[in-house]
A and B are shown apart, each in its own frame.
Chain A
Amino acid sequence: MELASQDAELRAALFRFVDVVPACRSLDDLAQHLTGFLGEVDDRPPPLEVAMRMSGTKAGRTALGAAAAAGVKHMAHRFIVGETPRDANGVLEELWRKGVATSVDLLGEATVTSAEADRYAARCREALDGLAEVYKGLPARPRLEEDSAGRIPRANLSVKVSALTPLLRPDAPERGKRDAAGRLRDLLRRARELDAHLHIDMESYDSREAVTELVLELLAEDEFRDGPSAGLVLQAYLRDSPDLCDRIIAWAHATPRGYPLLVRLVKGAYWDHEIVEARQHGWESPVFEVKADSDRNFEALTLRLLEARPSVRVAIASHNLRSIAHAVAANRAMGGDDGDVEIQVLRGLGDDLQQALATRGLRVRTYCPVGDLVAGMAYLVRRLLENTSNESFLHEQAAGRPLDELLAAP
C-alpha cells in the first residue's frame, strides 16, 4: 500500500487490479489482468518488473496470479471481518471483551432487482438474530451499555437503503422511499423485538433526500416511538450539512422517543464520486472541495449535535485525532460524562486508535463490514482510496508528519 501512495499511475493500476480480482475466472486470468494494468504504468519499480517478466509463461502467470490473489485476500481481511455474520462472531466477541462495541455492515452487490432487495433484507434479519444471540452471552461492559440518556443496545446493525430497494431515483426520492419503507419497517420491528440498534447509513448525495425522509418518517411512526434504538448519518463534507443538522435536531426535539435518535457524524466516504459527478454535469459540487473546510464543519456540527442532547445521541466517526479530541474536550467542557459521546472507527483503519480510546475509558464502536470479496469490492476500494489519499490523516501520520501540524486547527 505504501507503493501505491507514491505514484498516482501505479496506484490507479493497483486499484483497478484489486477491483477486478473477484471477477477473474482463473489464476491465469488474474495474472493477465495484473500485467495488463501494470503495462500501462511507465515507471515500474523493480518488484513489478519481475512480475511483468513472470507473465511471459503459463507457469509464471499461474504463480503470479496465486501471489496476487493471496495479496488481495490478505488486504481484504484487514477490512472485512468475515464472509458471513457467523464467521465474524469471534471478532465481535473479542472486541467486546476488550471493551469495544461494534456495528455490523453487510456488504452486498448493488441492488438492481426486487429479489435482490428482498435477499438483502432477509440477510439483515438473520444478522440481527445472530447478533442478538452472540451478544446475549457476553459479560457486562457498563461503558458500552449505558449513558446518561439510558440503556444502549449491544447488538448493532448498519443497513443501506440503496440495498433495500432498486427504485432510488435522484429526481424522484418518493419512489425509492416508498419501496424501501416496507422492508425497513420490517427490520425496525425485528430490531425492536430483539432490542438491537438499527443504523441507517448514508450514501451518495443522489439518495440523500430519500434516505433522510425515509428514516425520519418511519421513526416518527407511533409503533416505533419506544423502540428500537435507531440512528442516521450526517456527512460533514456536504456544504448543506448544517441545514440538515438543524432539520434533524428540530425533528428530534419534536419527536420524543424511548431511545434518542443516534446521529453518527462522519466526514463522508463518497468524495471522489461527488466531485466527478458534479464536474461531468457542470454542477457546483455538493461537497467541500478543500479538506480543511470539511474538518472545520465537522467541528461545528460536533458542537451543535452535542448541545442538542438529550434529544439526540451523538457518535463521532473519524480517524482524525483532532476531530476526536475536539469532540471529547467539547463534551467535557459542556459538563458531559465521557460516556455521553461515542467514538466510531472503521475496522482495519482505526484498530490502534480504537484500542487507545477504549483503554482511556471512552466509548468506542467499530464498524465491521461482513461479506465476501465480490460483494465487498466497492467498500474495499473506497477504504483503500481513503487510506492512500495524500490528505488522509492516517496517511500523513504514517508518513511521519509532525503531530502538532496534524493537530492544528483546520
Chain B
Amino acid sequence: MTDLPTFVNEPIGELRRATVRDELSAGMDRLRLPLRVPVWIGDGERHGQELTSEDPGNPDRVVAVSALATEAEVDEAVATAARGFARWSAVPAARRAEILVKAAAWMRERRAELAALEVRECAKPWGEADADVCEAIDFLEFYARGAVALDRGKALFQVPGERNEMHYAPRGVVAVIAPWNFPIAIPMGMTAAGLATGNAVVLKPAEQSPACGWIVVRALREAGVPPEAIALLPGEGDTGAALVNHPGVHTIAFTGSGPVGLQIIRAAAEPGAHHLKRVVAEMGGKNCVIVDSDADLDDAVPGIVQSAFIYAGQKCSAASRVLVHEAIADALLERVAGAVDVLVVGQADTFGIDVPPVIEQDAQARVERYRKIARDTGRIAAEATDGLPNHGWFVAPTVAADLPTDSPVLNEEIFGPLLAIERVPSIDAAMDRVEQLDFALTGGLFCRNPHTVERVVRRTPVGNLYVNRPITGAMVGRQPFGGNRLSGTGTKAGGPDYLLHFVEPRVVTENTVRHGLVI
C-alpha cells in the first residue's frame, strides 16, 4: 500500500468563470426529484413516505420522500453496527483510509449534482453548496491521513527488560446526529472521523435534509465501507433521542442547537452497556465582530456583511453582533446599512443572489419575532425588503441598532439574517461584552494595531478568532473549527486532535526478561 500524498484542500469552484457556472447548472438539470430516501441498515433498505423535505424557496417542490426510522429500527441499526464494528475495526487503518479516499473520489465525480441537491434541499446558494461538497471531500481526505498517522501510536520511554507500546483503539458504535446547514459536509465529517478510526457509525441526518444524509452513506458504501458498518436512520428528534439513549452506543457526535446538545450531554451521563458514553458536541454561537477605530472600513464593511448574511446567517459561525469603537461607529453603521440596503434576496439557484430563504417556516417566524423585538426596543437601521418573494421562507436581511444591553437580540442565538450593531467606548469594553456571553464559538476583529490584536487574542474566549477578514468559511486543516463555553465541547473539526475523540488509548507493557536475560 503506498502512502497517501500530502493533504490539500479540494479547490472550490471558480464561479467567476462562466464555464464553471454552466457545469453547476448542468448538474441541476441532471437532478431528478423527488429522491427516495430509505432507512438503510446493513443490506436492508426500507422505503417509506413518512418524512418529506421541501425546497425552502418553493415549499411546493418536494425534494425527497423518506422513510422515518422507528424505535425498533434504531435497535436494529445499533445491533447491526456492533457486528459491523467487529469486522471494520479489524481492517488495517491504511485500507480504511483507502476506502475513505475512494468515497472522496466518488463525490468529486458528482460535485455538480451534489451541490445542486444542497441548493434544492437546504436553499444553499451555489457557491456555498459547492464549498460544502468540497468540505465533505476534505474531511474524508484529511481524516483518512490522520487515522493512518494515529495508528502508529505514540512513543513511550523504554528501559531494558520491558517493552512499552501505546496505541489507539476505536471505541465501538458512533451515533452521528447531524444538522441541515452544512448538509453533506458536517455529517460526512463526523461520520468519516468515526469510520477512519475503525468505529461503526449510525447516522441520523437532520429531518430537513434526509437526501443529503443519504448521499453521505451512499458515497461511503459505494467506496467499500461494509454495509454493517454504516447505517442511515432518517428521522426527527425522537429518532435521534432513541439513538443517543441506546446503551449500545459508545460515542455521540452531535452538531446542532444548544438545547438539544445539552439534552444529549445529560442523557449520555447514563452509562452504556459496559462503558461510559463520550460526547463530541458542536452547538450554537453568538458571534461578535469587534471593529477598532483604526480599522479599514473598506475591508470591514464587506467582511461584516458577508459574515452576517451569507446563507441568510444560518451558519454557527455567522456574525450576529458588531461592537464598534465610537470614533468610527457612525461611519460604519451608515456604510453597513447602505450595503445591506442593496442586498438581493432571492432563490438559491440564482447566481449572484446575496441572501437565500431560511430553512423552514418556524425559522422564518423565529427571525421575524427577533426583528419585532429589535424594532420595538431599538432601531432598524436597514432592511432589504424590496423584491422579497412572498412564497418561500424569505426574511429581509436586517441591521438593528440602539438596543438595550439585555435585549434578547444581543444575547440569544437567532440563526437568521439579523445583525445588531453596538457602539463601545474602547476595545476593552467590547471584550467585556464578549466575556459576558454564554457562547464562545467564533469572533472577529478588525484592527491594525499589533498591540491591540495581541491583547484581544489573549483575552478572547472564542474557539475561532478571525482578524481582519470575514468570520465564516473555516477550511479543513487550515482553520480547525469548534467553540468553547456553551458553544461546544472544545473539539476542533478538521484539526489535528479531532480523531482522538473517537478512540481510546491503550498501553501494553511486556516483560522481555527471561531467566535474567533480556531476550
A169 part of interface (Cβ distance < 8 Å): yes
Q: Out of B11, B18, B353, name the residue touching A209 (CB < 8 Å).
A: B18
Q: Is A20's CB under 8 angstroms from B11's CB?
A: no
B267 part of interface (Cβ distance < 8 Å): no
Q: Out of A36, A37, A110, A283, name the residue touching B302 (CB < 8 Å).
A: A110
Closest A residue to B127 by beta carbon equals A171
Q: Is A36's CB under 8 angstroms from B342's CB?
A: no
Q: Out of B21, B338, B448, name the residue touching A19 (CB < 8 Å).
A: B448
Q: Is B293's CB under 8 angstroms from A171's CB?
A: no
Count the A-B residue pairs with Cβ separation under 8 angstroms: how many? 89
A175 part of interface (Cβ distance < 8 Å): yes
Residue numbers in A under 8 Å from B296 (CB-CB):
19-20, 23
B180 part of interface (Cβ distance < 8 Å): no
Closest A residue to B353 by beta carbon equals A172
Residue numbers in A under 8 Å from B339 (CB-CB):
112-113, 166
- Could you tell me the distance in whole angstroms from the C-beta of A287 to the nearest C-beta in chain B? 14
A50 part of interface (Cβ distance < 8 Å): no
Q: Out of B16, B127, B338, name the residue touching A113 (CB < 8 Å).
A: B338
Q: Out of A39, A113, A282, name the residue touching B342 (CB < 8 Å).
A: A113
Q: Is B12's CB under 8 angstroms from A32's CB?
A: no
B297 part of interface (Cβ distance < 8 Å): yes
Residues facing A in B299-329 (CB within 8 A) are: 301-302, 305, 327
Distance between Cα atoms of A282 and B339 in the complex (Å): 29
Q: Is B448's CB under 8 angstroms from A20's CB?
A: yes
Distance between Cα atoms of A209 and B305 in the complex (Å): 24
Closest B residue to A113 by beta carbon equals B338
Give the interface centre of A16, A174, A209, A282 by most chain B CB atoms within 10 Å.
A282
Residue numbers in B under 8 Å from A282 (CB-CB):
8-12
Residue numbers in A under 8 Å from B18 (CB-CB):
209
Residues facing B in A305-356 (CB within 8 A) are: none
B516 part of interface (Cβ distance < 8 Å): no
B393 part of interface (Cβ distance < 8 Å): no
Q: Is A171's CB under 8 angstroms from B450's CB?
A: no
Residues facing B in A6-28 (CB within 8 A) are: 16, 19-20, 23-25
**Interface code B1-36, partner A: CB below 8 Å = 1, 0 otherwise?**
000000011111011101001000000000000000
Residues facing A in B396-429 (CB within 8 A) are: none
Residue numbers in B under 8 Å from A283 (CB-CB):
11, 14
Distance between Cα atoms of A171 and B449 in the complex (Å): 34
Closest A residue to B126 by beta carbon equals A171
Closest A residue to B125 by beta carbon equals A171
A359 part of interface (Cβ distance < 8 Å): no
Residue numbers in B under 8 Å from A169 (CB-CB):
351-352
- Could you tell me the distance in whole angstroms from the C-beta of A122 to the nearest C-beta in chain B? 16
Distance between Cα atoms of A378 and B296 in the complex (Å): 10
Q: Out of B8, B16, B294, B302, name the residue touching A206 (CB < 8 Å).
A: B16
Closest A residue to B20 by beta carbon equals A171
Residues facing B in A95-151 (CB within 8 A) are: 109-110, 112-116
B341 part of interface (Cβ distance < 8 Å): yes
Closest A residue to B350 by beta carbon equals A172
Closest A residue to B297 by beta carbon equals A109
Q: Is A166's CB under 8 angstroms from B342's CB?
A: yes
Q: Is A109's CB under 8 angstroms from B448's CB?
A: no
Distance between Cα atoms of A186 and B351 in the complex (Å): 28
Distance between Cα atoms of A378 and B298 in the complex (Å): 10
Closest B residue to A169 by beta carbon equals B352
Residue numbers in A under 8 Å from B293 (CB-CB):
23, 25
- Could you tell me the distance in whole angstroms from the C-beta of B305 to the nearest C-beta in chain A? 8
Q: Is B448's CB under 8 angstroms from A23's CB?
A: yes
**Interface code B271-294, partner A: CB below 8 Å = 1, 0 otherwise?**
000000000000000000000011
Q: Is B338's CB under 8 angstroms from A36's CB?
A: no
B residues lining the A interface (CB < 8 Å): 8-12, 14-16, 18, 21, 126-127, 293-298, 301-302, 305, 327, 334-335, 337-339, 341-342, 344, 351-353, 448-451
19 cross-chain CB contacts under 8 A: A20-B449, A23-B293, A23-B295, A32-B449, A33-B448, A33-B449, A36-B451, A110-B301, A110-B302, A112-B305, A112-B335, A113-B339, A113-B342, A166-B339, A167-B342, A170-B16, A171-B126, A283-B11, A283-B14
Supply 5 further A-B pairs (C-beta < 8 A) apart from A23-B448, A39-B450: A169-B351, A171-B15, A172-B351, A172-B353, A209-B16
